[in-house]
Structure 1
Amino acid sequence: MSIPQERRLVTAIPGPKSQELLARKQAAVPPGIGTTLPVFVTRAGGGVIEDIDGNSLIDFGSGIAVTSVGNSAPRVVERVQKQVADFTHTCFMVTPYESYVNVCEKLNELTPGDHEKRSFLVNSGAEAVENAVKVARLATGRQAVVVFDHGYHGRTLLTMTLTAKNMPYKQGFGPYAPEVYRVPLPYPFRWPGENPAEEAYAQAVDVIEKQIGAKNVAAVVIEPIAGEGGFIEPAKGFLPRIAEFCKANGIVFVADEVQTGFARTGDLFACEDEGVVPDIICTAKGIAGGLPLAGVTGCAEIMDKVHVGGLGGTYGGNPLACEAALAVLETIEQEDLVGKARRIGEIMLPRLKAMQERHPVIGDVRGRGAMIAIELVKPGTKEPNPEALAEVVKRCHAEGLLVLTAGTYGNVLRFLPPLVMPEHLLEEGLTILEKAFA
């Protein structure tokens, strides 16, 4: 790679030039746009990001699972550069172009299930989820939507309503969209019973049948692994049972794979772990190497019911983003990034579990592939410990390791390294994390 794959600190973090830009940001941008680590990036690639002060940091975030194939990945750069010289936009609904069709064909081919599918492209994960609900409501003639505790689906009015966590995503932004109902998610670390999958399933069905009526439900929307909620993998068996319930009751099962998709979990899509085939799958983030793109892929029988003009948007499936997506899919296949995601998990999970044995503040270690998290608690309890999380993050950032947080209770450290990260940087990052806990 053209950018050296090494951690290098030449100033404090953030450095003086980043601090100067931060002051400009605060004067120009509303405070509602937060910043995890206020270093201003000049270039990035592989497993590192370089800032304006010349520091090189290890990247355990991938822009929240967006740059899974690496920042400015060679195939992405090559295809986008060619496309930008040809044309940048026409609007696919006005005069179409082949790359949009190519992306949709690939999504139809690669997403779970061998049934006939249709796909269309939008700009963001939230837009994909909102469109999935639109399609499900029209196709079923029903209105109700069922979602789950700890879920996150976006920041638009509808997806904000679908999202479980109030602060910071919902606080003060109501009233919210109608006909949205929430049911329990079997959170293994915190579930009070002995059989979380069966117990949560029974509770969910009870709510649906008694409070809503299964025949009034258009869609059930779920993340196969709850992302912002804290990388919560529902107890095994729960997802297949919910999918079966949907099928039996004519409900559209929508998998929100915005964060889990495109090799992140060690499968191309997280649903594949338990053989779940969604009626509609929403994808974004890792789909286009950093360019704004998202997809909605579903059964042809459902998708074809929408009238002409009922779907679309000016920028959806922009040609630059489409070329980037084709490059991403080629990179995943050619460089076996599904296998590399599994390898990241094989390296990270044992070291994190060893840290858990030494540091009782680590209550839980969980995740699959390159989607890993640790949950911090007050030692000897399961009481959330966001104060300890803040201290660990501060120490990691000061040492040049970019880490992200998550969790309904604000106490989860999540790891989303680029799938192309060299193993020596992965190991060095874990060593920095160990020192932060020590």
Structure 2
Amino acid sequence: MTAPARTDRGSEELIRAEEPVLAHNYHPLPVVVARAEGAWVEDVEGRRYLDMLAGYSALNFGHRHPALVEAAHRQLDRLTLTSRAFHNDRLAGFAERLAALTGTDMVLPMNTGAEAVESGIKVARKWAYDVKGVPADRATIVVAADNFHGRTTTIVSFSTDETARSGFGPFTPGFRIVPYNDLAAMEAAVDETTAAVLIEPIQGEAGGLIPDDGYLAGVRELTRRKGCLFVADEIQSGLGRTGHTLAVEHESVVPDVVLLGKALGGGIVPVSAVVGSREVLGVLHPGEHGSTFGGNPLAAAVGTAVVELLETGEFQRRAAELGTVLREGLAALVGRGVVGFRARGLWAGVDVDPSLGGGREISERLMREGILVKDTHGSTIRLAPPLTVTAEELAGALGTLEKVLTT
């Protein structure tokens, strides 16, 4: 690792310094990271930790992957931003390669995951009015309970998490919420006003919930039969995390629209995109949607380097192969502090015996043992290491989890 920026303040002092000046919208673990490389981070005192969260999948390729850092440095010396008022020499190549990787026709570049979701909602509604013929301002979108698609006002309008919603109304209308993994309920909610069904192939924030086999294929069949779009939010699940480029590939499903983000920026810059068919994304015309930074040259350069890594298939194979190590290791812990888990590729939601502590408490114990994870609801923790993690590092993390739960 390279040397961190110099500071005369330790972790405790830096954490105290944040209290009066940072809005309290996060409750981070008490570790102050100063530098990182690969699957490892180091705090200001020089303690090392194995990162088993990977920035909620934003760091699929690890911290400071050399190919991504090189692409960023090279572009920083040339051009960083033009706005979309002009063309730039990096955007076309990025869009072409991302479309080819995902098997789609067109790309709408944005910045954050929430922007991708908002853009997907707008595209679906525009398609409903211009193509399907839904009367003006009547379009509806069907979503799943316990979803997590972001935190903008429109997105929390269809959240069922009261912590995300409370105090932020009035909310945006036009959404119908049905239980996840329930095709019958979804079919009952879809009618002639439905523009799209918007779901996560795996619900990450809800604890890594994986639907039954056939659910995604059923959503695809239903949306085709009912004449609406299937929009898949692959912001966390996509780009190699589950052992395929996209999680929907586990059922050989091709949505009309896919939302991408997080790993698309390589952990360097925020990059997101809406990708889909020409028939759908082609409904947008100049002036109807945009972003000053969306598709900027720096983002396009880093995004292209990310696509190049995925084009080899190496990271998808690693996630699939190491996913076996993860599942087998977690299975061995069932009854030894773990009461259940769900895993696909290098992504798992692990339910810990509540008598041993809540998710936050377990995360803090793991932190003190040199392993960084993040809790979600109740006594569930999430494991999502970089796809660069080794089998030995993964086994070591599972051994530490066993130690924390059994001693």
Q: TM-score scaled to structure 1, two decimals?
A: 0.86
Q: 2:352 aligns with which of 343, 361, 376?
A: 376
- Output one character per residue of 1:342-371: Cα deviation in whole Å (capped at 9) or x when no partner: 122111111111111333xx2322111111
2:176 to 166, 177, 181: 181
The 2-side partners of 1:65 and 1:236 are apart by 23
Q: Which amino acid aligns with 2:172?
A: A
Distance 1:333-1:158 versus aligned 2 partners, 3 A rule: same
Q: For the residues of structure 2 that align with 1:335 and 1:56, how far apart are their CA atoms? A: 30
**Residue matched to 1:147:** 143
Contact 2:75-2:297 at 8 Å conserved across structures: yes
Q: Which residue of 1 aligns with 2:333?
A: 355
Q: 421-430 or 287-296: which moved more?
A: 421-430
Moved beyond 6 Å, runs of 4+? none
Structure 2, unmatched stretches of 5+, are none
374, 390, 393: which is aligned to 1:404? 374
CA contact (8 A) 2:374 2:381 kept: yes
Q: Which residue identity is paired with 1:204?
A: M
Alignment of 1:195-206 (within 5 A): 200-206=182-188
What secondary structure sits across from 1:215 in the alignment? coil
Name the residue aligned to 2:124.
Answer: 136
Question: Could you tell me which residue of structure 2 aligns to residue 102 of structure 1?
Answer: 93
Letter in 1 for 2:183: Y
Identity of aligned residues (%): 33
For 1:247 and 1:348, how far apart are their aligned partners in 2? 36
CA contact (8 A) 2:142 2:186 kept: no
Specify the code of the residue in structure 1 equivalent to 2:128.
T
Which residue does the alignment assign to 2:297? 319
Query: AA paired with 2:30?
Result: P
Equivalence map 1:162-311=2 (5 Å): 162-167=158-163, 169-186=164-181, 200-208=182-190, 214-290=191-267, 291-311=269-289
Q: d(CA) in 1 for partners of 2:373 and 2:128?
A: 42
Q: Distance in 1 between matches of 2:150 and 2:341?
A: 26
Distance 1:306 1:386 in 2: 52
Contact 2:142 2:197 in 1 (8 A): yes
Shift, 1:333, TM fit: 3.6
Q: Which amino acid aligns with 1:150?
A: D
Instruction: Give the whole-Å Cα distance in 1 for the aligned partners of 2:176 and 2:303.
Output: 34
Deviation (angstroms), 1:334: 4.2
Q: Tell me, yes or no, if the aligned pair for 2:61 and 2:386 is still in contact at 8 Å.
A: yes
AA of the residue aligned to 2:285: H
Unaligned runs of 5+ in 1: 5-14, 187-199, 209-213, 379-384
Equivalent residue letter for 2:125 = R
Larger mean CA deviation between 255-264 and 154-163 belongs to: 154-163
* CA deviation after TM superposition for structure 1 residue 16, in Å: 7.2
Tell me the distance in 1 between the aligned counterparts of 2:364 and 2:14: 20
Cα distance in structure 2, aligned partners of 1:351 and 1:3: 33
Of the structure 1 ranges 25-34 and 279-288, higher mean CA displacement relative to structure 2 is found in 25-34
Inter-CA distance 185–424: structure 2 relative to 1 (3 Å threshold): same
**1:365 aligned residue:** 341
Is 1:158 the counterpart of 2:135 in the alignment? no
Instruction: Return the alpha-carbon distance in structure 1 between the equivalents of residues 405 and 280 of structure 2.
Output: 50
Query: Is it true that 1:427 corresponds to 2:405 in the alignment?
Result: no
**How big is the shift at 1:204?**
2.1
CA distance in 2 between counterparts of 1:434 and 1:415 reads 14
Q: Is the 8 A contact 1:345 1:372 kept in 2?
A: no
> CA 1:88/1:353 → structure 2, altered by over 3 Å: closer, same or farther?
same
1:152 match: secondary structure: coil
Change (3 A) 1:354 1:205: same
1:121-178 deviation digits (Å, cap 9, x = unpaired): 11111110111110111111141011001111001111112333222x2221111110
Show the 5 A alignment for 1:338-349. Answer: 338-349=316-327
Q: Is contact 2:359–2:376 with CA below 8 Å preserved after alignment?
A: no
Alpha-carbon distance change, 250 to 207 in structure 1, aligned in 2, over 3 angstroms: closer
State the distance in 2 between where 1:230 and 1:371 align. Answer: 10
Moved more, 302-311 or 230-239: 302-311
Contact 1:363 1:375 in 2 (8 A): yes
Q: Indicate conservation of the 8 Å contact 1:46/1:422, yes or no.
A: no
The CA distance in 2 between the partners of 1:400 and 1:335, in whole Å, is: 30
Q: After the TM superposition, which residues 48-59 of structure 1 pair with which residues of structure 2 at under 5 Å, given as runs?
A: 48-59=40-51
User: CA–CA distance in 2 between the matches of 1:375 and 1:414?
Assistant: 9
User: How many corresponding residue pairs?
Assistant: 393
Instruction: Report the 3-state secondary structure (helix = DSSP H, G, I; strand = E; otherwise coil) of the residue aligned with 1:28.
Output: coil
Counterpart Cα distance in 2 of 1:422 and 1:205: 43
In the alignment, which residue of structure 2 is the partner of 1:45? Answer: 37
What CA distance in whole angstroms lies between the structure 1 residues aligned with 2:69 and 2:299?
A: 11
In the alignment, residue 305 of structure 1 is paired with which amino acid? V
